[in-house]
Chain A
């Protein structure tokens, strides 16, 4: 099932022609309308006309999140505010927020790519879709809303939070599709079961689109088992459009990038050079059609790899692997680089703990210490110290074997770690505070 069969299944050569045509146009457009780009191009001595083939994209300078912050609020806008119909913004917790403006046509594109995404996981007008991503400046809620609206599904715009009500809505309305962050999905399942006596697998949910934070295959299995649904991975970011930059199809085998609108590259984060297919690196996007704020070679900080080969679903769009980390989330402990997802994956491979954990970094004696606090499952609690110690040692051993450094494991009580209704805070770095 496709939303836009012609584009989703067009031959790759034709797609590349379309991409080149659009790339040339957007580069010229950005150069002419956004002083930031003109300055960058001029400094490097390149002109929009230098872009003659897709590979020439590598001559274009990168755009970083820091660049976007510097021109706060409207410095990247290519259109007059009178033509901007909607504004979204990042939360700005790590500095000035990033502000994006959409023209009416940008919203149409967003609708289109989100509709493709939802149709790819089987959503139809018969579905009742509960959107538990935040509505507001955050792109999650409205992005899903537009896509579902285009399809004609019945939208329950629940927004984030108010957990008890979310579950009541799912139960009373017979919600069939759930959209939220994966950590919130797990919390919803737990809350339904423990606080409301509702078996989440008895709800009518059959599919879900989860994203906006890092998660793992193990978490996918947990969510699928608890709710009895098919859990899909969505990818997006405010700078490019919001959710709907890439989405999994029913094959659950990588996320299709809607390449006719977003041109992807994977580069070596250190050198900036493009990497061969299949190699892990930083994802970079150029928006091919965006009018409000065109993005040229935006560095996402997200680490992933292109998936080689074609998907069984028939879509020609390139696929990326699930996001493996953010170059910002990368933790460096005693000189070793690691990502929270590696720890999560290793923890869940051992029976007896819940997918709720926190990583705590300290530097007590000028040496990094890493501790993982993980909730043991209620059933695992034994009244014998040695049983609990055995579980703890098993976890430590498994972490050391899979990650390669010693990590202290502390088992904590079920439900004692803070829960989030949005993005889970997994890493607490106290090294600077010592």
Chain B
């Protein structure tokens, strides 16, 4: 139930983000979710895209530093406390969340969220046990 995330190293240079996004656009890659972690010197662009392997290939070719990592996608009830409930499950079992960000679109009454933790397998088991809806790559393609 892991989904593939595309991460790109972004040097703190003018136009760098645009160059990445433009390269993806040219290759007809659609971005479903996106977040940027930034420091004073560099940023890391993380994305869920419709075709991560192809996206990595075009970025490599264009000279970017890109990598595919596994994350988990969850459907969260779109109401106050929806995400907190999920994080509580992880917190109680001592799982560290590395980062969380949300999808651009919603599916019906649910908000879609990307989570990366220090132990993905255990996270998946715990969330399944708690009845949380996990996204698979199939669902993502049909978004």
Q: Which residues of A contact B (CB under 8 A)?
A: 376, 378, 381-385, 388-389, 392, 410-416
Number of A-B residue pairs with CB-CB distance less than 8 Å in the complex they form? 38
Given A378-B65, A381-B9, A383-B69, A388-B46 contact (CB < 8 Å):
no
A416 to B12, CA, bound (A): 12
Of the listed stretches B22-30, B37-45, B101-109, name the one at the interface; the rest are far from the partner chain.
B37-45
Q: Per a CB cutoff under 8 Å, which of B41, B69, B99 touches A410?
A: B41
CB atoms of B7 and A411 under 8 A apart = no
CB atoms of A385 and B37 under 8 A apart = yes
Task: Determine how close the nearest CB of chain A comes to the CB of B120; give it in whole angstroms.
Answer: 13
Interface digits, B42-80 against A, CB 8 Å rule (1 contact, 0 not)? Answer: 101010000000000000000111010100000000000
Q: Could you name 21 residue pairs across A and B whose Cβ atoms are closer than 8 Å?
A: A376-B9, A381-B7, A381-B9, A381-B65, A381-B67, A382-B67, A383-B5, A383-B7, A383-B46, A383-B67, A384-B44, A385-B39, A385-B44, A388-B9, A392-B41, A410-B42, A411-B42, A413-B11, A413-B64, A413-B65, A415-B63
Q: Is B94 an interface residue (CB 8 A)?
A: no
Residue of B nearest to A408 (CB): B41
Residue of B nearest to A384 (CB): B98
Residue of B nearest to A410 (CB): B41
List the 10 closest pairs (A to B, CB-CB), nearest first: A383-B7, A381-B65, A383-B69, A385-B37, A413-B65, A410-B41, A381-B9, A413-B11, A381-B67, A383-B44
Given A378-B65, A385-B37, A412-B11 contact (CB < 8 Å):
yes
CB atoms of A388 and B42 under 8 A apart = yes
Instruction: State which size class the interface on B falls in.
Output: 10 to 19
Task: Determine how close the nearest CB of chain A comes to the CB of B83; give it in whole angstroms.
Answer: 21
A415 to B64, CA, bound (A): 9
Q: Which residues of B contact A (CB under 8 A)?
A: 5, 7, 9, 11, 37, 39, 41-42, 44, 46, 63-65, 67, 69, 98-99
* Chain B contacts for A385, CB-based, 8 A: 37, 39, 44
* Chain A contacts for B5, CB-based, 8 A: 383
Task: Determine how close the nearest CB of chain B comes to the CB of A362; give it in whole angstroms.
Answer: 15
A385 to B98, CA, bound (A): 10
* Chain A contacts for B99, CB-based, 8 A: 384
A388 to B67, CA, bound (A): 14
CB atoms of A389 and B39 under 8 A apart = yes
A376 to B67, CA, bound (A): 14
* Chain B contacts for A411, CB-based, 8 A: 41-42
* Chain A contacts for B64, CB-based, 8 A: 413
A411 to B99, CA, bound (A): 22
Task: Determine how close the nearest CB of chain A comes to the CB of B66; give it in whole angstroms.
Answer: 8
Residue of B nearest to A386 (CB): B98
Task: Determine how close the nearest CB of chain B comes to the CB of A357; give it in whole angstroms.
Answer: 15
A411 to B44, CA, bound (A): 13
Residue of B nearest to A383 (CB): B7
Residue of B nearest to A380 (CB): B65
A384 to B117, CA, bound (A): 11
Task: Determine how close the nearest CB of chain B comes to the CB of A221; give it in whole angstroms.
Answer: 24
Residue of B nearest to A392 (CB): B41
A210 to B51, CA, bound (A): 45
A332 to B5, CA, bound (A): 46
A389 to B37, CA, bound (A): 12
Task: Determine how close the nearest CB of chain B comes to the CB of A197; give it in whole angstroms.
Answer: 13
Task: Determine how close the nearest CB of chain A comes to the CB of B20; give it in whole angstroms.
Answer: 11
